[in-house]
Amino acid sequence: MTRVSAAARIAGGYLLLSVLWILFSDRVVARVPDADRLTWLQTVKGIGFVLATTALLYLLTRRYITRAESTADALRVAYDETLAGWAAALDIRDHSTGEHTQRVTELTVALAQRFGLQGAELDDIRRGATLHDIGKMAVPDAVLGKTGPLDDEEWAQIKRHPELAVRMLDGITYLESALVVPWCHHERWDGSGYPRGLQGTAIPFPARLFAVVDVYDALTSERPYREPASTNAALAYFEAESGKQFDPDVVREFVAMMAERDASGIIDIGGRL
């Protein structure tokens, strides 16, 4: 009999809770006619979702860990599968991302390996990439799921997600070295990014790697408001933004990696993924 992985069980639990939460909370929200109260209720709804799913995550994680073998390798696998389940929960909630987390994690790890990273450093990058948008769990549904343009207040809430990620995960020793990716992946090489306006090499290297991959996936993925860009167009964008938004060395290596993948038939550099 095939055993269901911990990540699948956690994602399944999140999916069930998410569906029930949406059905129940939408009925409650629909009964509120006052616009000001509705905004407040949407915020409470988002926070309640975070609390409820955190409790579920704790229960599922505790159940899995108590059944796991008492070895360091088994514990590491349990942690990583828990993180994967947590990321899967966000992909379920932010349905526009699809398999975004899995794609960017795999590509970031491949890029990091080209710079010689291995062992614990590579594990930290993998975990950081997996959790890069976890702070969005604290963003209200009304903002996260909006298909139209965001207003200034809504955009300000979205821009808080790197700091929210740190607040959510700070104190977890296992993730200390991985937090630089969720915290710093929206910083820009020229210092115009957020949340801290870091510039150049002051931006942690794992975050500089991930920033390129994250934008690449965003450009080449379909969105409700636009068609996906071709791989060739996306790479041209990176070359134009090298030294501005992105680390020039990272851009150079990323473009080379994608060219090699094109030559091996993994992608079609003139088309789409």
Peptide bond into 195 cis (omega under 30): yes
Total domains, the chain: 2
Same domain for 245 and 175, yes or no, is yes
**244 assigned to active site:** no
Q: Which of 45, 136, 146, 159 is catalytic?
A: 136
Same domain for 140 and 246, yes or no, is yes
Which of the listed residues 93, 125, 146 is the one where a domain comes to its end?
93
H-helix or E-strand spanning residue 147: none
Q: Which is nearest to 28 in space by CA: 8, 9, 48, 11?
A: 48
Same domain for 104 and 79, yes or no, is no
Same domain for 149 and 229, yes or no, is yes
Same domain for 192 and 173, yes or no, is yes
pLDDT at 113: 97
Same domain for 146 and 220, yes or no, is yes
Residues of the chain with pLDDT under 50: 98, 268-273
What is the domain extent for residue 187? 95-273
Task: Write out the two tokens for 164.
Answer: 């929210």
pLDDT at 271: 42
Same domain for 143 and 184, yes or no, is yes
Same domain for 118 and 183, yes or no, is yes
Q: Is the dihedral of CA 45, 90, 10, 126 positive or negative?
A: negative
Which of the listed residues 26, 58, 93 is the one where a domain comes to its end?
93
Alpha-carbon distance 89 to 95, whole Å? 10
Same domain for 66 and 131, yes or no, is no
One-character DSSP codes across 85-143: HHHHHHHHHSGGGTTHHHHHHHHHHHHHHHTT--HHHHHHHHHHHHTTTGGGGGS-HHH
> For the segment 52-108, what is each residue's pLDDT rounded down to a tens digit?
777 877 777 777 766 655 555 666 666 677 777 767 666 666 655 547 888 999 999
pLDDT at 106: 94
